[in-house]
Amino acid sequence: MIDSEQHPYVEWIAREARRPVVVDLDARARLMAAVRAEPRPRRRPGWQRMFEPRAFNVSPLGSALLAAGLVGIGVLAGAFAFDRDGRQAGQPPAAVASRLPVSDSLVKFVFIAPQAGSVSLVGDFNGWDATKNPLRRSGDSGLWTVQLPLSAGRHVYAFVVDGTWNRDPAAPVTPEDAFGHANSVRIVARGVAL
Amino acid sequence: MNNTRPASGISARAHVLLGTLLLAALPVASLAAQELDPLSKLDAPSKFTVQLLIDSAQAAGLPSRALMSTALEGIAMKVDGRRIVAAVRREYGYLQTARSSLGPVGDEELTAAAAVLEAGAKPAALVAFRTRQNGRSDLEAFTIWADLITRGVPKEDASTAITKLWQDGADDATFHSLWNNVQTDILQGLNPGTALQNRIRETPGRAPPGPGKPPEGQQENQSSK
């Protein structure tokens, strides 16, 4: 707080500030006349307007949507371009790719289930997805088969018969895993499946 | 004074268009991200831990594909997230131990060796496979080894038999034939240990499994095959 007795200029400034300002009544009219006298800015062609800077008014919700959308587009672009470890999407890891044969071996899987309504193959080669490799029934014999190309190496798999997981009786098994299930193992040599 | 409105008709339309595009992109991006992320069906804490283990495996040079496969198997079996994490962690441990026992080997061999440990073999039993032989894979040997223990063959017997066969130069077909015969005998009701002992005597380059060694004469006959 400033003491006005110790600062005589303060009182003077306050008095000046309180004094009403005298405005020329014609000033506003003269100003508007001058503005109207100015030539209108020429409307630029469309392509030039593309480069003109613009101010957008965006609400907080709009800006949040904009940010989320851009992130989503970035995720999409990134996922289609590269995997987490910098590989091109869809390509096998470099360490595996260097050891894979030029062409995969065509491996046949057979399961006998005369009463089954559906049989499908799940394994480490299809992400354990029961929809990817359904087996086809051969006539009325109860023989279900599917053939698919597999890379050389060790593959762990199971048959899903009407929703129940079964191991292949014609293949070695893995130890019972932490989920209480023993899967089957198929070793695929280069060019031939054992 | 209404002449101060800055936004033109074009910018208002651009607003609407941009908003519509972004709103349309959001669910598509979300769905696509879920489709591309195989672990998206896991709950957040479990997914975080599994991803952490996979990243650690990659950093340590362990086959992360095996860990991902375990997680996906659990998801496919609709197993609880905590059990999936426990399974992946357990698999990580077996891979680490197998790497310590075997030294630098391929991902497939390491995964197969981890299965042998999971079946119950001692890590020391893998050390015999540390010596690599050019162009020879121990995948089949490890697979049959794990299978035999899983089917009830005593661990020591299975370990001794497989190690000896491998050291004697048995090929993949020999291991597969041994497995086929032992499995047939077990299915016919024979004790798994006895089945292995019987069948190993018929196998070229055989090893006497466990304490029950075959008679000397028979061993010589088999060796001369």
Q: Quick check: A182 and B11 CB within 8 A?
A: no
Q: Where are the domains of chain B?
A: 41-106, 133-225
Residue-level length of chain B: 225
Section B35-58 average pLDDT: 92
Higher pLDDT, A75 or B194: B194
pLDDT tens string A87-103: 444 444 433 333 444 45
Instruction: Supply the pTM of this predicted model.
Output: 0.63
Query: What mean pLDDT is reported for chain B?
Result: 82
Q: Which one-letter DSSP state was computed for residue B204?
A: T
Contact list, A128 vs chain B (CB under 8 Å)? 69, 72-73, 75-77
Write out chain B residues lying below 8 Å of A174, CB-based.
115, 118, 146-147, 150
- Diameter over CA atoms, chain B: 117
Residue A97's identity, in one-letter code, is A
Q: How far is the C-alpha of B71 from the C-alpha of A183, rounded, in Å?
A: 14
Interface probe with A: pick from B88, B139, B172, most Cβ of A within 10 Å: B139
Structure-model confidence comparison of residues A116 and A92, the more confident one: A116
* CATH architecture of structural domain A100-193: Sandwich (2.60)
pLDDT of residue B112: 93
User: What is the percent of chain A with per-residue pLDDT over 90, rounded to a whole number?
Assistant: 30
Q: Which value does ipTM take for this structure?
A: 0.72
- Please name the residue of chain B whose CA is at the shortest distance from the CA of residue A187: B140
**Average pLDDT for B131-135:** 69
Closest approach of A170 to chain B, Cα-based (Å): 9
Contacts of A127 in chain B (CB under 8 A): 38, 72, 76
Which residues 151-170 of chain A have a CB within 8 Å of chain B? 153-154, 156, 165
Per-residue pLDDT tens over the stretch A129-167: 999 999 999 888 889 999 999 988 889 999 999 999 999
Q: What is the mean pLDDT of residues B135-150?
A: 88
pLDDT value at residue B122: 94
Min mean pLDDT across A36-45, A48-57, B84-93 is at A48-57
- Geometric angle at alpha carbon A85, from A81 and A91, rounded to 5°: 55
Instruction: Give the span between the Cα atoms of B79 and A168, in whole angstroms.
Output: 22
The answer to whether A185 and B143 are in contact (CB under 8 A) is yes
Q: Which residue of chain B comes nearest to A172, CA vs CA?
A: B147
- Which has the minimum average pLDDT: A62-66, A98-102, B76-80? A98-102
Interface subset of A 67-126, CB within 8 angstroms of B: 68-73, 75-76, 79, 85, 93, 95-96, 99, 122, 124
